[in-house]
Structure 1
């Protein structure tokens, strides 16, 4: 099976080709083409040179493996990723899809850039036990977790221990995340009995107050949706293109008007229009306009820019956000054990703190530092690479150097170092990355040597010692 990444207009695709068997004819493919399922990458079948390929829509998403090179996972991120993946897998049963056909590896899982929710790749005929895949995926998370976050360390190791037990189910993983499955039962029981609870305060006075747990489930109450403001990456033409287009049309009209005033397409007596001359003039103007338009509206002239994006979310209370006193009363599993915290802290300090030396191992030595030297030194400055992997993009978060240019994508490229070798990886950018004039395939590592010319879109650098 071959994997490649393609861009078509405003859409990005992950393409799987040369797949063994006939997955394109299966019921699952027909179901996924007809029904969009949240958490599963939309797909399409295309036939090129009698070869069927699966096109997975990945617009607005980034490969998990690439993003996690710089991001350390906190407790909330681990919890959200695990629960979202389990929900997606369980939803497959509703559509009669085989859960063993999910490709639950970091090379095929994508994260939404705005919401950070995971999207899975479904390949009929993949047929690898989903539980084994989940165990391997949690091992991957163990390497990416933030070991300064004690809750995250405890959670990921509890999940890992569950995966090693024989006959475990995804419900067992959910119980670890929720800490106590009885909380849900208590919520359902409270809903059936009453929508209010009676509470006695310290002064033995009776007061009736609404239960926040019940409030979550009172669907008939009016809700005010919360507004989340953010940004998204938009591929479009610049204002310069529109201005030059209008200017070109005006010049064409001006040429025709000037020719009419000078009576260029009139007969030799200047009294009547010579339609042959007029037709030739129109053809010349139209051909000139067509040539200019083809240049101005070429795909290479497109740029990326960040535009505001507003999202509205349901603010109803989740039982994960219950007050501290309610957690203690309803769910002992949510109550943190101080002794376990101390033990976890010891584990972090004694066992995992040495891994911090890895940063020092991959950091550039002061006597032999590397960087990107701009070809156009007047407009761009030198970029010193302080550690690997080194990310370059237009975004502000999770990149090592922010290159705020319209032609640069939010996450454009990264430079890797393995032993004494360097590699450049294009992160499915809009305008591409180049080494010595050759365009890189998305997410494919290309060897990089000192002295090579790197181009991020049309911005050129020289990889060198600095």
Structure 2
């Protein structure tokens, strides 16, 4: 298939033609589009030149997405309009029984009128999966957006990650593009009479409902698995006897191998030289046994260390837990939201992410990474750190540097990808 841009006096068009002569793929959808104007699809006519069947699309007064991106970087509003119109044309195409995989979605075949109107080519028999086309288009757009616009960055990365999912639908993508934009912070001088939303009080019944739904109160995983312990901490806590035993195991293996060599067990009886096959076989077996023994010892000790950390964390929780007047347990630090269950932090470090096997609070939303954010305590202050997530963690609209803790206080806005919470 060949794509050609044609310009002449008073006429602008795009041509798509087959590379093989006599190619035929006409169906009732093609005939319907020839005689009816469908919103969001470039109007076309079919011509024959030199035995080739050519689709000629009318693109008067419009430019390709590639041409637009060559002139300037796109901001969130333009990006939203382009993708919204594109997805809308595919969605409404179902009413005319158009096939999703016959839309030609590339930077050269998507046309826009200053971002306000977007139309795309439909080529009967094209047959390329739409999800793959949208993923390629969003990947192309990543290099052509204004990276100073946080909303544009968040939108395109969330869109791209969604297209990588096998279960992705047009409705899912439309939800990402047309979702509510992040509210801009208003200065207190502009509306002094209205309380800021981040300082709003949380009613007891709201807190009770949020706590009931909170992942921290559901049996997602055993509590002890949510306490990470690094290998360095395990080695530091190991007694001297365990370290000596760990060193003696490989030393004993080497000594046994040396004795066998000395006594002639590993020597070829005919040549009188060391038998390479016997030596390699015995060495490999010994190595496997040493690794298995070391792993068994350290895994058992690691379990003891984790259990000790869990008990210490529970003891700290009991010391800091207070009861509210309504009889509900109140945590020393929490994040509340109008859309999601509250994040109640009793012990630290506390992890937020999409993976139920690693996160203390599971936030299974678009754009949230498997291992997204960590809440910790330094002295009497609570800090938040982004764990190298794709779509970032924001405090009061400012994106955090990866793995760099940021102190927060009551009333701060915390945004995890596109999910907004407030420190309470």
Please identify the structure whose Cα radius of gyration is greater.
Answer: 2
Normalised by the shorter chain, which TM-score bucket? 0.3 to 0.5
Q: TM-score scaled by structure 1?
A: 0.39
Structure (1/2) with the larger strand percentage: 1
Q: TM-score scaled by structure 2?
A: 0.42
